[in-house]
Amino acid sequence: MGFDNQRFDVNLSILFTELPLLERPAAAAAAGFTAVELWWPWPDAPVPAPADLDALRTALTDAGTQLVGLNFYAGQLPGPDRGALSLPGEESAKFRANLSVAADFAQSLGCTALNALYGNRVDGADPAAQDELALKNLVLAAREADRIGAVLLIEALNAPESPKCPIVSAPRAIEVVDAVNAASGLDNARFLMDLYHLSMNGEDLPAVIDAHAAQTAHVQIADNPGRGAPGTGSLPLADLLERLRKAGYEGHVGLEYKPGPDGSAASFDWLPRPASHS
């Protein structure tokens, strides 16, 4: 039950970060993973050099790892920015410049899930104007996702760690999903259910699963407190994932947690054996 019935992938932007980016896919494969996900790997370059894109693509394919999730440009992650699409001026312009680049990269690797992080409230900016900008940019992102046959993921963060982010609950994220689908007419926006963030918000996780499993296209996990591996905190993650499975969720579960003091390769002892995750 629980962990034995899941399709796990590893997030190479939070695990294996003790290694250079291009070495992480092979390390994930050596740990038994065939599927990986990434935040946008170049936080200072929404449009990186073609050689950088080619090198990462080669590293992923040579390792035999399938990219199953990719963030659009979102500024510094982890960091204070936490998204770009609702930020007036230069940052939202960078987000728009990144859209086709990220979508083309995802398509070249068969990745069909693109995550668009909303962004913080900005002092001096009208929240309504930020939300209007966000919706326009999310519609553009939905169109790019649709162009490559992908879904657009909308994620709720958590208020304690991202106090200026306006999307810090499952119901609010679902409102954005519905607004994007209505505005785009594409019906390809879906919920990214991050159980760590939702638990940090104090939400009733079984109730969230029961209410929103059908709108969920990707799941991420970390234990709470501490954002470590399952078993380092108090969340009943195996039970929650089994509840998701019974509710009809058949997608990937991203491991988006901080490794322990012994490094990333040693942080998977909780997984069923033999280790082979896809």
SS3 for 97-112 is: HHHHHHHHHHHHCCCC
The span from the CA of 67 to the CA of 76, in Å, is: 21
Question: Counting runs of H as helices and runs of E as strands, what totals does the chain give?
Answer: 8, 8
Annotated active-site residue in 37, 91, 144, 155: 155
Instruction: Answer for the pair 157, 195: CB distance below 8 angstroms, yes or no.
Output: no
Structural tokens at position 218? 């990707």
Asked about 203 being catalytic, the answer comes back as: no
Instruction: Answer for the pair 26, 271: CB distance below 8 angstroms, yes or no.
Output: no
Q: What sign has the CA pseudo-torsion 115, 38, 7, 229?
A: negative
Chain centroid, CA 56 distance in Å: 18
Asked about 256 being catalytic, the answer comes back as: yes
Instruction: Answer for the pair 72, 95: CB distance below 8 angstroms, yes or no.
Output: yes
| Residue at 28: amino acid letter | A
Preceding peptide of 78 cis, ω within 30°: yes
Q: Transcribe 152-173 into DSSP letters.
A: EEEE---TTT-TT-S--SHHHH
Q: Active-site residue numbers?
A: 155, 256
